[in-house]
Amino acid sequence: MKVLANDGISKSGITALEKAGFEVLTVQVAQEQLQNYINEHKIEVLLVRSATKVRKDIIDNCPSLKIIGRGGVGMDNIDVEYAREKGIEVINTPAASSASVAELVFAHLFGGVRFLHDSNRNMPLDGDTKFKDLKKNYGGGRELRGKTLGIVGFGRIGREVAKIALGCGMKVIASDNYVGEADITLDFYDGQKVTLKIKTEPVDQLIKHSDFISLHVPSQSGYLIDKEEISKMKDGVGVVNAARGGILNEKALLEAIEDGKVSFAALDVFENEPTPSIKVLMNEKISLTPHIGAATEEAQDRIGTELAKQIISILHK
């Protein structure tokens, strides 16, 4: 049986699949050539991340496919329900990358409140001639401790973000359409544990009370955070989007940064990905990463292993 990992897979995942008798192909096939490649090589399992799209044309015209796997959480690049209607199993790895995304959120938060993203741009340029000016420019930072973090979307990733926030001494409030409350357990190195209960509240309440807001919802049909929502936020709020492009109105965000409503933003995902707006990329108050939330060695290892387990379980029944 052949597996095509079109967007890559960890060595641990390849090893597990090969031990179970699968042939794993890791060539990256262009989207327009994917259908022909699957049929030519009689691929039974197609594994993707966010780059490759698996739409109805591939599902209809590739009869050898038995499983479509997404290495990660969101599956908006796959026509999931249609594939399942056609008898194809669709799997993903919702828990494998949660910690990595949460840590990236806090990398952006720590950087944002101390202007690290902009300082790292300008120190190489002017650090040797304008040191005192730069020190003055970047000296008015804030602490996260004691501040309120609003988490919009309280699934696996949102809860991992909450754990780090609580560990930093922040107050956490959350909003979720499906979760009323959740137990957040902090595990310490010596085996001790502390469990705290977080109750959710409507988004329109959360945005009023939060010093910082982190978004963790699936792809939406429209903006979750638009001009109206931003207008209700605290003055000087910081906003992080490491979820999906298109849930935050970037034009409204830029306007809010310009008038001082938003003190800084951090984006790992973008409306026009993979060609983000130049105005977004050039704004000195936005911390930027190229959709790398799950891109840690540990997360990719867990993703590969988890996909392999699911594939073996389904096809070796």
pLDDT, tens digit, 9 for 90 and up, residues 196-229: 999 999 999 999 999 999 999 988 889 999 999 9
Together in a domain, 185 and 309: no
Task: Please indicate, yes or no, whether residues 64 and 135 belong to a single structural domain of this protein.
Answer: no
Per-residue pLDDT at 74: 81
Across 32-56, average pLDDT: 96
The pLDDT of residue 81 is above 90: yes
Helices (H), 225-275: 227-231, 250-258
CA 159 to CA 156: how far, in whole Å? 5
Contacts 24+ apart (CB under 8 A), 277-280: 277/250, 279/254, 280/250, 280/254
Mean pLDDT value across the chain: 96
Number of domains in the chain: 2
Question: What average pLDDT does this structure show over 99-116?
Answer: 98
Q: What is the pLDDT of residues 153-190, one digit of tens each?
A: 999 999 999 999 999 999 999 999 999 999 999 999 99
Q: Is the pLDDT of residue 94 over 90?
A: no
Q: Which of 103, 201, 255, 273 is catalytic?
A: 273
Catalytic one among 244, 250, 302, 306? Answer: 244
**Candidate list 49, 291, 302, 306, residue with the active-site label:** 291
Query: Quick one: DSSP state of residue 188?
Result: P
If asked whether residues 202 and 284 sit together in one domain, one would say: yes
Write the DSSP assignment of 86-134 as a string of letters: TT-EEEE-TTTTHHHHHHHHHHHHHHHHTTHHHHHHHHHHHTTTSHHHH
Do 104 and 196 fall within a single domain? yes
143 and 281 within one domain: yes
Q: How far apart are CA 103 and CA 98, in angstroms?
A: 9
Tokens, residue 227: 């001009």
* Local confidence band at 317 (pLDDT 50, 70, 90 cut-offs): low
Q: Is the pLDDT of residue 240 over 70?
A: yes
Q: Are 12 and 302 in contact (CB under 8 A)?
A: no
Which residues are within 8 A (CB) of 21 and not within 5 positions of it... i.e. 6 or more apart? 1
Q: What is the dihedral of CA 163, 235, 206, 238, to 10 degrees?
A: -30
181 included as an active-site residue: no
Please check whether residues 80 and 104 belong to one and the same domain. no
273 carries an active-site annotation: yes
Predicted confidence (pLDDT) at residue 292 exceeds the cutoff of 70: yes
Look up the CATH number of the domain holding residue 54: 3.40.50.720
Same domain, 156 and 125: yes
- Same domain? For 86 and 12 the reply is yes
Q: Which domain holds residue 7?
A: 2-93+297-315
Q: Are residues 122 and 155 in the same domain?
A: yes
Closest CA to 242 of 148, 101, 100: 101
The Cα 256–Cα 248 span in angstroms is 12
Regarding whether 141 and 39 lie in a shared domain, the answer is no
Highest mean predicted confidence (pLDDT) among 70-74, 179-183, 284-288: 284-288
- How would you class 177 by CB atoms within 10 Å of its CB: exposed for 0-12, middle for 13-18, buried for 19 or more? exposed
Residue 244 annotated among the catalytic residues of the structure: yes
